[in-house]
Structure 1
Amino acid sequence: MKRDTFQPTIHKRRLIGSLLSEDGSVSIYLIIATSAIFLVMSVLIDYARIAAFQKQTELAAKSGIRSALSAYDGMLYKRYGLFGAGGTDRNDIFAEAARRNWSEASDEAFQVLNVRYESSHINSYETLGRHDIMERQVLEDMKYKAPIDFTLEIASRFVPAASTLQEAQTQIKMLEQVRKLYDKRELHLQNVLELQKVAAEAAEEPAEFIPYELQHAVTGDTVAKIVAKYSTYRAWVQAESQRTDPESPSFAAHIASYRRDARTLASDLANKSTLVLRRHQELERKALEELAEADRLNEQMKQVIEQSEQTNSGTGYDRLAKANVPGAASSSASQADVSGMQEVGQSADQLLLGAEWFASYKREISEQTVTYASFDSEAAGFQSTMNIALSSSGSLALLTENAAQLRLAYEQYVQRYGLLGSAIMTRAQELQQRQAADKERKKQEAKAESKLGEIRQLLHGITTIPQVDEHQEVFDQVKNRYENNLAFNEVTQAAAEAALQAGDPQEQAVQSMENASSIFTGMADLLDGARDSVYLNEYVINRFSTFEPQKLGAVFMNADPGELGHAMSLNNQETEYILYGFHNPTGNIAAAFGELFAMRLAIRTMEGLMVSKSLGHPLLVLASAIVYGLEKTMEDLLSFTRTGSAPLSKYIPVEVTYRDYLRLFMLMHHDKEEQLARTIAMIEQNTGLTLANMTTGVTGELNATVNLWFLPGVMNSFTKLGLLGGKVAGNRYEASKTIGMSYS
């Protein structure tokens, strides 16, 4: 027992001795160095554990976010291919997934990291009701399917028609512009001729004084009568001067009467002629103005024709025609047909009038006034000669000569510029020959107007289908959803435009060609890689219902349309509503058929141009082509109501359905924001969801702690100095991780 007590004492003495000895300094230094190493290693070990803990926390947060996003609305995805929050609470999913990333603490197993879940929560930052989010999901859904479907089902059918439609659009647009200018020009030239005739009619007023072979006065004095009686007048004057017997016969009364009649006739003739000359000058000014306007319009016609001859490369037609589209249909339209259309356009040159023609006509108008001015000068000279002749120094020979010159001047005017004068008749015949084809053209234009009226009445019949109140209530509900979504996205609503707005058949044909050009440009954009708008369109056509045109057979066949009211429900025309945006049961269908009419008219008018090219006169060809186009378009509309489709063209016998045309019409409408709003409204109406509340992007925040093994105080200093994130509480290090992720 004593030994045991003594033994530690001996060890203590030896230890103290060694420390006090000279050799003990080495041991002290070793202890100090070991302590420093231990301190550094402790810090490094805990730092490494914290780094590992932070990585595990990040992985746990990512796992939680992915798990939270897996809770999407299955019905919304299955029906519309869209991802939005739904199902189990995402906070619970996030927390459960995060916990499963760490094994539970156990006394039997050694754990380098004793991680403990503290808290977590989910925040939403994107919703499906936003247009940019909606668009991204749609593009993702359609990025593989849309280009293939559209190219094989639509573009391949229309490629063969591109070149012929391009040529048809060029010629029809040019001919229609020329037609308008031509009609205006001819009206001005007709006005010029009418003004010339008015001047000729005015020139007939002095004719009562000057009978000639084409004009004979019935009553009253004439120049010829006055001149013929002049010798008698001189005899009366001489007899009266030699009269000495007051009882002898007196000629004073006869002399006075003759002088009065002669002066009155000469004065009236001169005054009337002066007034007619002034009238000529006024009419000349107006005629030259009309002629100048006709010349200006003629020059515009020339410019239009020249511009149409320029190349059309780079247009949608041209780009699509040059595209290499697999499975493209073949066309029976030959290069000769296309050349024939070009020849029709080139024949428009025959409608032009040359600069020399206008210069000649201008001289002629002025010469008419100058010719009449010569007669007026003779009338003034005759008055002067008559006044001299009535005096004692008068000469019958001079008076007779002046009368002859007066008559000659008048006859020269009448023979050239009278109503039956050579110049007037020549211009009238020239006008008639130039407008020889206009009579037939006007008949064709009247026929086209009648056909267009029939089609308008037919399309108007769609809007008169009796509307069911229940259907209108659904449209009102969708309208409210649509407006709410626009407000959510801060988009201003624009009014939808109705189709079939052009005023006459010619304008309708040109507008139809313009619409077709927009469609072909859209197809070319798709093939060139401009994808977004086409992807959105294809999404709508694949995910939403379209109207069945066969249901309109009752309207187009003049049957009772009463039963059609039930077919006009919104669930039968979802695509049409998204495309046009009319909030009533018939507006969208009427708009779709209006554009269907326009597209068919463009194609059929192209055919009509080929069929009518042999008629010669370019404007007659245009009118006949439009009549052909309207007649065939009417047949096409009836075909859609019977079978739901119609052949693309006489030269491309492939069937194109009403649904296919809707896909094309979407290329013409660029109100993307409004169409997205209507798409969202339609989805909300069908699902009962509110997409503005459907989360598509989330951020998850995870809070966790890990135990510290060695020096919590040192680690706490590091966090306060900003050398280490998080914080230290007791002997545990706390960290927070925030991770964001979305479906799109």
Structure 2
Amino acid sequence: MFGKGHNTKDGESGAVTVFLILILAVMFGFIAVFIDYARIAALHVQTERLTHAAVRSVMSAYDPTLQQEYGLFAYGEGGGEQIMVKVLNDSARRTARTETLPLMNMKLDSSSLQMERELGKYAIFNEQIREEMKYKAPVDFTFEVLEKLKPLSQNMKEASHTVDLLKRLQKLYDRREAKLDDMLEKQRKAGAYMEEVRKRIIKQRGTYMPNQYIWDPLEVVADIAAQYKHYVHVYEDNKKSVDDVKIMQMEKYARRARAALDRLRQIMVQAGEEHDKLLLEAKEPLSEARQINEEMRKVIAQYKQRAANAGYDEVSAAPTPSGAGSNADPSVGSARQKAEDLLISDKEFEQWEAEIEKQRTSINTANNRITSMMRTLSFYTDPFLNADMLKQEVASTLKEIDKYLNAYAWVGPANVLDGEAKMMDTRRGPDKERKKMEKEAKNKLKQAYRIIEVLSKSKQSAEQFQNLERYYN
């Protein structure tokens, strides 16, 4: 009974063992199949990689001269099959290592190389050019632009500095020139007062004084000398035979002569006061113009020491294939240097100030001569004077006055103020041209505004403008 049971257990354990063996055999077979499949797949990948490596090696044997000069790739003169076989053999050669499990035992059986995509075909040739230019063109274009801009960078920097400098100088320049114009205007007004004094001496521009009768109008001082000879004649006749009419005429002559001298004296006092006042006022704008001129000098000095613009210098320092320099055009830099031509020398300011003082002393000389003439003419009732001497006294006084007027009032080559104004206009020549162009531009802008205003009132034009604006947006 016990023996039978023992046999049954031995049979069951044997069946289990057989079953396990079968399962392991199936598993080993399955794994072996997958190992072989993996080896085949790995061999396929490795073969493809070796093929690509061999092809790349063959492709690396392009003609360098053709590529460097024209950017085209073409196979050189070497043997392509030899390169390919060598690369494949070297890659498939087994390394001498011990204790390794060679998963892939491969060797080169055979290889072949066939060249395609010949450069002589237009499609291949065109494609290579496109591929070359796709990368090279932007770089070449960038270098070309840089080559163009590099020499201009210093010019642009100089132009930028010059424009900034001239913008600051323009306002100062206009203020200074306005002050100088104000100075000349005050000098001219001062000179005009002496012309009023002259009109109280004689009416006409010259010095000719024809003889007059004492019953003729006596309005100016020159009429005293012109009527004096007739006054003496009437005086002598009245001594011979006293006549009330003659006495009345002589009294009227004396009264009008005194009035003429009084008017001259009054205008002399007024003219002298206004003359000195205006010339003192003329020194104020001259001093202000000198201060502004110094401000301009400081601005120019600051811009000479101004730090360079880093952006322009980066372009100038950028390396380029040709190694072209970036020297600035001398004409551009000279524009900033010529800014100093806008300055006025201290010598000119000193000359203007000296001319104002000279104008003050010149009128004093004329006034002294007028005072001497009035002192002589105050004896207009003295019958023992010389009529020609009185005329000569008036004429010499007029010459002294005319000398002043020619220098400071009347238009002519001897006018000092006109000479100064002409020198200023010569210096302002370019600026006058600029202002003329600005004026023309403003007029053109006004015309454009008027045209736009007319168009804006037109319904059709408004619709067209809206369409245009819509397209722009």
TM range (shorter): 0.5 to 0.7
Q: d(CA) in 2 for partners of 1:443 and 1:330?
A: 46
Residue 419 of structure 2: aligned partner: 426
1:335 counterpart SS class: coil
Q: 2:372 aligns with which of 361, 364, 381?
A: 381
Q: Return closer, same or farther for 1:435/1:324 CA change in 2, 3 Å cut-off.
A: closer
Deviation at 1:366, TM superposition (A): 2.4
1:437 counterpart SS class: helix
Deviation at 1:359, TM superposition (A): 1.0
Q: Return closer, same or farther for 1:310/1:414 CA change in 2, 3 Å cut-off.
A: same
Residue 309 of structure 1: aligned partner: 304
If each structure's helix is expressed as a fraction of its own residues, which one has the higher value?
2
Cα deviation 1:392-423 (Å, max 9, x = unaligned): 78665764454233212211111211231521
Deviation at 1:236, TM superposition (A): 3.3
Aligned letter for 2:430? Answer: A
Cα deviation 1:449-476 (Å, max 9, x = unaligned): 68999999xxxxxxxxxxxxxxxxxxxx
1:264 aligns with 2:275: no
1:358 aligns with 2:349: yes
Aligned letter for 1:210? Answer: I
Deviation at 1:318, TM superposition (A): 5.9
Residue 189 of structure 1: aligned partner: 180
Q: Return closer, same or farther for 1:407/1:306 CA change in 2, 3 Å cut-off.
A: same
Q: Return closer, same or farther for 1:371/1:329 CA change in 2, 3 Å cut-off.
A: farther
Is this contact kept in 1: 2:218–2:257, CA < 8 A?
Answer: no
Q: 2:202 aligns with which of 194, 199, 210?
A: 210
Deviation at 1:196, TM superposition (A): 2.2
Deviation at 1:253, TM superposition (A): 1.0
Aligned letter for 2:280? Answer: R
Deviation at 1:266, TM superposition (A): 1.4
Aligned letter for 2:362? Answer: T
1:340 aligns with 2:331: yes
Q: d(CA) in 2 for partners of 1:427 and 1:358?
A: 11
Deviation at 1:391, TM superposition (A): 5.0
Aligned letter for 1:560? Answer: N
Q: d(CA) in 2 for partners of 1:324 and 1:260?
A: 96
Residue 278 of structure 2: aligned partner: 283
Is this contact kept in 1: 2:154–2:313, CA < 8 A?
Answer: no
Q: d(CA) in 2 for partners of 1:387 and 1:199?
A: 28
Aligned letter for 1:228? Answer: A
Q: Return closer, same or farther for 1:220/1:171 CA change in 2, 3 Å cut-off.
A: farther
Aligned letter for 1:428? Answer: A
Residue 7 of structure 2: aligned partner: none
Q: CA RMSD in A?
A: 4.1
1:188 counterpart SS class: helix
1:390 counterpart SS class: coil
- Taking structure 1 as the reference length, the TM-score comes to 0.36
Q: d(CA) in 1 for partners of 2:391 and 2:425?
A: 43
Residue 362 of structure 2: aligned partner: 371
Q: Return closer, same or farther for 1:412/1:259 CA change in 2, 3 Å cut-off.
A: same
Q: d(CA) in 1 for partners of 2:176 and 2:349?
A: 12
Deviation at 1:280, TM superposition (A): 1.3
Deviation at 1:303, TM superposition (A): 2.2
Q: Return closer, same or farther for 1:442/1:249 CA change in 2, 3 Å cut-off.
A: closer
Q: Return closer, same or farther for 1:399/1:342 CA change in 2, 3 Å cut-off.
A: same
1:416 aligns with 2:407: yes
Runs of at least 5 residues in structure 1 that lack an aligned partner in the other structure: 1-152, 457-556, 568-744
- Taking structure 2 as the reference length, the TM-score comes to 0.55
Aligned letter for 2:275? Answer: H
Q: 2:159 aligns with which of 148, 160, 168?
A: 168
Structure whose alpha-carbon radius of gyration is higher: 2
Q: d(CA) in 2 for partners of 1:382 and 1:361?
A: 32
Q: Return closer, same or farther for 1:254/1:296 CA change in 2, 3 Å cut-off.
A: same
Cα deviation 1:48-93 (Å, max 9, x = unaligned): xxxxxxxxxxxxxxxxxxxxxxxxxxxxxxxxxxxxxxxxxxxxxx
Q: How does 1:209-608 map to 2 (within 5 A)?
A: 209-211=201-203, 213=205, 221-240=219-238, 242-243=239-240, 250-310=245-305, 312-313=307-308, 315-317=309-311, 320-321=314-315, 324=318, 335=327, 337=329, 339-390=330-381, 399-400=390-391, 402-421=393-412, 422=414, 423-446=416-439, 560=467
1:261 counterpart SS class: helix
Q: d(CA) in 1 for partners of 2:328 and 2:405?
A: 54
Q: Return closer, same or farther for 1:229/1:451 CA change in 2, 3 Å cut-off.
A: closer
Is this contact kept in 2: 1:162–1:321, CA < 8 A?
Answer: yes
Aligned letter for 1:232? Answer: H
Is this contact kept in 1: 2:224–2:377, CA < 8 A?
Answer: no
Is this contact kept in 2: 1:385–1:399, CA < 8 A?
Answer: yes
Q: Return closer, same or farther for 1:177/1:450 CA change in 2, 3 Å cut-off.
A: farther
Q: d(CA) in 1 for partners of 2:163 and 2:244?
A: 89
1:371 counterpart SS class: helix
Aligned letter for 1:436? Answer: G
RCO comparison, higher one (Cα < 8 Å, 6+) = 1
Aligned letter for 1:230? Answer: Y
1:388 counterpart SS class: coil
Q: Return closer, same or farther for 1:411/1:331 CA change in 2, 3 Å cut-off.
A: farther
Deviation at 1:361, TM superposition (A): 1.2
Q: Return closer, same or farther for 1:237/1:446 CA change in 2, 3 Å cut-off.
A: closer
Is this contact kept in 2: 1:378–1:402, CA < 8 A?
Answer: no
1:317 counterpart SS class: helix
Is this contact kept in 1: 2:162–2:336, CA < 8 A?
Answer: yes
Is this contact kept in 2: 1:298–1:352, CA < 8 A?
Answer: yes
Cα deviation 1:665-709 (Å, max 9, x = unaligned): xxxxxxxxxxxxxxxxxxxxxxxxxxxxxxxxxxxxxxxxxxxxx
Is this contact kept in 1: 2:155–2:333, CA < 8 A?
Answer: no
Aligned letter for 1:364? Answer: E
Q: Return closer, same or farther for 1:563/1:445 CA change in 2, 3 Å cut-off.
A: closer
Q: Return closer, same or farther for 1:329/1:404 CA change in 2, 3 Å cut-off.
A: farther
Is this contact kept in 1: 2:369–2:400, CA < 8 A?
Answer: yes
Q: d(CA) in 1 for partners of 2:311 and 2:469?
A: 42
2:307 counterpart SS class: coil
Q: Return closer, same or farther for 1:352/1:212 CA change in 2, 3 Å cut-off.
A: farther
Q: d(CA) in 2 for partners of 1:260 and 1:330?
A: 100
Deviation at 1:223, TM superposition (A): 3.2
Cα deviation 1:80-134 (Å, max 9, x = unaligned): xxxxxxxxxxxxxxxxxxxxxxxxxxxxxxxxxxxxxxxxxxxxxxxxxxxxxxx
Aligned letter for 2:369? Answer: E
Q: Return closer, same or farther for 1:318/1:436 CA change in 2, 3 Å cut-off.
A: closer
Q: Return closer, same or farther for 1:453/1:299 CA change in 2, 3 Å cut-off.
A: farther
Cα deviation 1:157-177 (Å, max 9, x = unaligned): 698364333212211111222
Aligned letter for 2:432? Answer: K
Q: d(CA) in 2 for partners of 1:215 and 1:321?
A: 76
Q: d(CA) in 2 for partners of 1:318 and 1:278?
A: 61
Deviation at 1:360, TM superposition (A): 0.9
Is this contact kept in 1: 2:188–2:417, CA < 8 A?
Answer: yes
Is this contact kept in 2: 1:189–1:294, CA < 8 A?
Answer: yes
If each structure's strand is expressed as a fraction of its own residues, which one has the higher value?
1
Cα deviation 1:207-253 (Å, max 9, x = unaligned): 3323565588998634333113223323433444x35x66x565211
Q: d(CA) in 2 for partners of 1:562 and 1:442?
A: 34
Deviation at 1:344, TM superposition (A): 1.0
Q: Return closer, same or farther for 1:162/1:250 CA change in 2, 3 Å cut-off.
A: closer
Q: d(CA) in 1 for partners of 2:167 and 2:177?
A: 15
Q: Return closer, same or farther for 1:446/1:316 CA change in 2, 3 Å cut-off.
A: farther
Q: d(CA) in 1 for partners of 2:365 and 2:203?
A: 18
1:560 counterpart SS class: helix
Q: Return closer, same or farther for 1:184/1:252 CA change in 2, 3 Å cut-off.
A: same
